[in-house]
Amino acid sequence: MNASIKSLALQSLNVALRLLLGALWTVVKTAVQVMEVSEMSGAEKRERVFAIAQQEAINLGKNFSSSLINLGIEAAVQLLKGGKSND
């Protein structure tokens, strides 16, 4: 994929998730960044980020589906791999 197209796609993904998840998006991105350096397995990292996101959603008084939280986690991973995790 062309670098500029990839960059545009990642920026669009970031905006879309910010709209869908609101404040939770920042929490998910931060948790994914923190977990990246952990020595846990990928599954353990995902589980931990999911738990953090679920608790934060409760704290925010929001009720997000598991699939939407998982979408946020996967998007955050892709943004991190793409080097674009800015708001």
pLDDT one-digit tens code per residue, 41-70: 999 999 999 999 999 999 999 999 999 999
69 closest CA partner among 46, 39, 42, 44: 46
Calpha distance 14→36 (Å, rounded): 18
pLDDT band at 37 (very low <50, low <70, confident <90, very high): very high
Please tell me whether residue 54 adopts helix, strand or coil conformation.
helix
pTM score: 0.86
User: In the prediction, which pLDDT does 83 show?
Assistant: 60
Per-residue model confidence as pLDDT tens digits over 8-30: 988 999 999 999 999 999 999 99
Return the pLDDT at 24.
Answer: 97
* CB count in 10 Å sphere of residue 58: 11
